[in-house]
Amino acid sequence: MGDDGEQQEGPQKNLKNYWGNTPEEEDDYFEQQGVRGARSFHTSPRGLALFTRSWLPLPSSPPPRGVVLMVHGYGNDVTWTFQMTPIFLAQNGFACFAFDLEGHGRSQGLRAFVPDVDLVVDDAISYFESIKNDPRFQGLPRFLYGESMGGAICLLIHFRDPLRYQGAVLVAPMCKISDKVRPAWPIPQVLSLVARVMPTLPIVPTADIMKKSVKVEAKKVIAEMNPLRYRGKPRLGTVLDLLRVTDYLNRRLGDVNIPFIVLHGSEDAVTDPEVSRALYQAARSEDKTIRIYEGMMHSLLFGETEENIEAVRRDILSWLGARCEGRGAGSS
């Protein structure tokens, strides 16, 4: 999308935006892509200022087909390459909303410090409920969408209120941290003792997640240019709570009862595709779909070749479209 050809020829230095330096202004790029973008802040129940974004079909387009409520992954944000997917969905008739998690992007909090994922779930529910109350979107089907840690958060949101959402798109969900990046014994046990007194300490020894997520070398350079990307080592409190949450989710796969599609690369070295297979097998959901993409890695919607990205996009769009009862653009 946008200047993809420019990306494939080789990334420029000091890109202002992930698509390049032309157009320079974000709103001009949105207009070029045929969507309407907006930015704001939402105050969470605990008083945090959370940076939010929306990507909507143009006013001249048919009414939205549905609402997609999106959660990014660890160390990421909603301003750089994450935008590629909601822009694509908005072009195809979906109203998309996302926010930077606590300590990520432009949201308040110590960088990449998420000591209690349950509080982040509270943040997400608060923001998503504010959208539900917007008269422009009342009556539309609402879907959760989560990448990596965001997929785990979507499942936790579902457990809070199993009937509130009409479906979930889970992209490489972090229902278990891959053994390839999970600290080996006895490191977690030692770190848990240190975390009691120094939870913000960024010392957890693990590989660079971005480099293990992105396949295309030129795109690793683009990802590295993200001015908001967290580049430090994971903080003790964050890692320990993610281990707690993923262990909890792994025990509750059989309680999942929401329509969902789970998408995973077979060569994912960050989250475990076998756990996505286990989720598909164990979930009580009658409407469930799984896609395992042979040879693909963790970053399915940015880090792969354009051909691979289009395949994943088609699967997501087809799944969402089939559950919108003929609403809006492209429904025929």
Burial of 294 (0-12, 13-18, 19+ CB in 10 A): exposed
Is 268 labeled as catalytic in the residue annotation? yes
Beta bridge partners, 167, equal 143
Handedness of CA 307, 145, 171, 53 (dihedral sign): positive
Q: Which two tokens stand for residue 176?
A: 């278990």
Question: Alpha-carbon distance 102 to 147, whole Å?
Answer: 16
H-assigned helices in the chain: 4-9, 26-33, 84-91, 117-132, 149-160, 187-195, 209-213, 217-224, 236-251, 273-282, 306-322
| Annotated catalytic residue within 148, 213, 276, 299 | 148
- Length of the chain measured in residues: 332
| Annotated catalytic residue within 42, 72, 104, 298 | 298
Inter-residue contact 154 to 145 (CB < 8 Å) = yes
Is 298 labeled as catalytic in the residue annotation? yes
| Annotated catalytic residue within 3, 241, 268, 272 | 268
Q: Name the residues annotated as catalytic.
A: 148, 268, 298
